[in-house]
């Protein structure tokens, strides 16, 4: 986990900067992140990385990489785009498109809390958008034109995102089946959310695209009626309900047309042979129903409804930037709190109790979950734009290095200055005499040549100095190279004064 002001993605993903913690599930942790580049390039993404205690499990790592590789091949307006995949110091990550909105599950719960229903043409817009993305995935082929046979297997309201602009996108292909996956589900192992499973999926039988069509039928029923299809609270009750025919939507919301009852009944047929063979055929019937009702499936109207239900919400980077400006913390990266690893008993199935790709508990928030919806109380902060030329950890190390170098130079200069004239200063302290600093040595460029001096020779007329008396200090020969001392010996004939 990154510490405040630091990103541990420096080694594996130097372009990404973590702005806020979103959520964690049984398999991965999710962050709101930003990638920057040349000429002011900037993109906000959702970064998903495998949790540390699963990073050493080869099976979990293979599943994680399979999800990234599979989703990266899917390019459709109704599927959340995967941009990049990489490896960190001790884990793997991939980044995907950030969707500014809420999950269909969050929309369902908010409408129930507000005691309001969703207009039918907007329900059709959501389900048709999800069906279009799934049909594209079902039809996807490899570069050599081999069908990938992709089956999502976890279609549910928590894995369908609705943007505040009306965009509908399918997310979380974590347990999707495809021929290119390196890890296949073991025979008899059931994966997915029980409340949205087809009967054959609950039995552990081989699956095809029609199990995703069944899950779309449940979504259509629940959004149209604003009630759960299976009202049983236990797994046993849900399995018993699967054995019986599904109720008609008009039985719970009388104003719904009979044509919608027919569409739901075919999508929820217990025998897969009686269902829509493809999601495309379901879309055609939804469009025909909208035409009969003289309504248009409009993303713009859906976006307006989302803003009316949830209120106007700015993008999270604008909110974080405003918070950083208000608190003066624009130069700090977000403090991403360390999520507590879930217990094996509660989170043993990473797609079970967690609702959706962000696995954010009861709300089932997904990749578009705003950072303020994080279960941690610490509000993340962000950089100011333009202050992100290098990761903060590197800048801090560089500053400490320069400060240490400057301190060392100052210490060396001070030591040199203090110890340069130490002997002369000690002599001056003992004698009380002033110390004359040595004359500076002339530089070679400014030095002038002088004729050599010839030492004078003693002549016969020179007076001979008398011998010193007993006990007096002995004289010694003059040394012209020694400086004169201010102790009564201007000629320098005596030793220096003690």
Q: Is the dihedral of CA 178, 180, 181, 185 positive or negative?
A: positive
User: Is 154 considered catalytic here?
Assistant: yes
Distances (CA, A) of 134 to 71, 95, 222: 12, 21, 19
Which tokens go with 306?
């989302």
Which residues lie closer than 8 Å to 473 by C-beta, 6 or more apart?
494, 495
| Dihedral sign of CA atoms 208, 212, 213, 214 in order | positive
Residue 231 has which token pair? 């009202």
**Which position among 57, 84, 90, 154 bears the catalytic label?**
154
- Give the up-direction half-sphere exposure of residue 237: CA atoms within 13 A in the CB hemisphere: 6
Of residues 18, 83, 1, the one with CA closest to residue 388: 18
Q: Just list the catalytic residues.
A: 154
């Amino acid at each position: 986990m990154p510490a405040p002001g630091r990103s541990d993605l420096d080694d594996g993903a130097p372009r990404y900067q973590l702005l806020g913690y979103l959520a964690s599930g049984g398999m991965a942790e999710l962050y709101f992140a930003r990638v920057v580049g040349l000429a002011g390039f900037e993109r906000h993404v959702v970064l998903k990385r495998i949790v540390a205690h699963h990073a050493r499990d080869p099976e979990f790592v293979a599943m994680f990489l399979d999800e990234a590789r599979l989703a990266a091949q899917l390019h459709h307006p109704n599927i959340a785009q995967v941009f990049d995949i990489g490896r960190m110091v001790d884990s793997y990550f991939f980044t995907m498109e950030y969707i500014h909105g809420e999950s269909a599950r969050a929309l369902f719960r908010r409408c129930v809390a507000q005691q309001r229903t969703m207009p039918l043409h907007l329900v059709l817009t959501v389900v048709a958008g999800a069906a279009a993305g799934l049909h594209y995935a079902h039809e996807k082929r490899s570069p050599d034109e081999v069908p990938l046979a992709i089956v999502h297997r976890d279609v549910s309201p928590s894995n369908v995102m609705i943007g505040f602009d009306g965009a509908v996108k399918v997310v979380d292909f974590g347990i999707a089946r495809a021929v290119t996956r390196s890890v296949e589900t073991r025979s008899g192992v059931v994966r997915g959310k029980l409340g949205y499973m087809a009967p054959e999926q609950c039995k552990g039988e081989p699956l095809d695209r029609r199990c995703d069509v069944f899950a779309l039928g449940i979504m259509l029923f629940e959004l149209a009626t604003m009630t759960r299809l299976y009202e049983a609270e236990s797994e046993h009750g849900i399995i018993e309900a699967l054995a019986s025919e599904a109720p008609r939507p008009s039985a719970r919301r009388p104003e719904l047309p009979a044509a919608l009852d027919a569409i739901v009944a075919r999508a929820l047929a217990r025998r897969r042979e009686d269902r829509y063979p493809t999601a495309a055929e379901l879309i055609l019937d939804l469009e025909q129903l909208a035409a009969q009702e003289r309504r248009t499936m409009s993303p713009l109207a859906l976006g307006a409804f989302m803003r009316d239900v949830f209120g106007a919400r700015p993008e999270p980077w604008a909110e974080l930037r405003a918070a950083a400006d208000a608190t003066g913390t624009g130069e700090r990266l977000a403090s991403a709190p360390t999520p507590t690893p879930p217990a094996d008993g509660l989170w043993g199935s990473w797609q079970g109790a967690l609702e959706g790709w962000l696995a954010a508990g009861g709300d089932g928030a997904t990749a578009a979950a705003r950072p303020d919806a994080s279960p941690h109380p610490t509000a993340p902060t962000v950089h100011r734009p333009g202050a992100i030329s290098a990761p903060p950890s590197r800048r801090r190390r560089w500053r400490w290095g320069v400060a240490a170098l400057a301190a060392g130079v100052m210490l060396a200069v001070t030591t040199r200055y203090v110890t340069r004239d130490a002997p002369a200063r000690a002599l001056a302290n003992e004698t009380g005499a002033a110390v004359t600093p040595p004359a500076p040595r002339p530089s070679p460029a400014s030095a002038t040549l002088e004729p050599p001096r010839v030492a004078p020779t003693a002549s016969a007329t020179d007076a001979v100095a008398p011998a010193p008396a007993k006990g007096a200090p002995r004289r010694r020969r003059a040394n012209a190279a020694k400086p004169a001392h201010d102790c009564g010996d201007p000629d320098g004939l005596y030793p220096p004064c003690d």
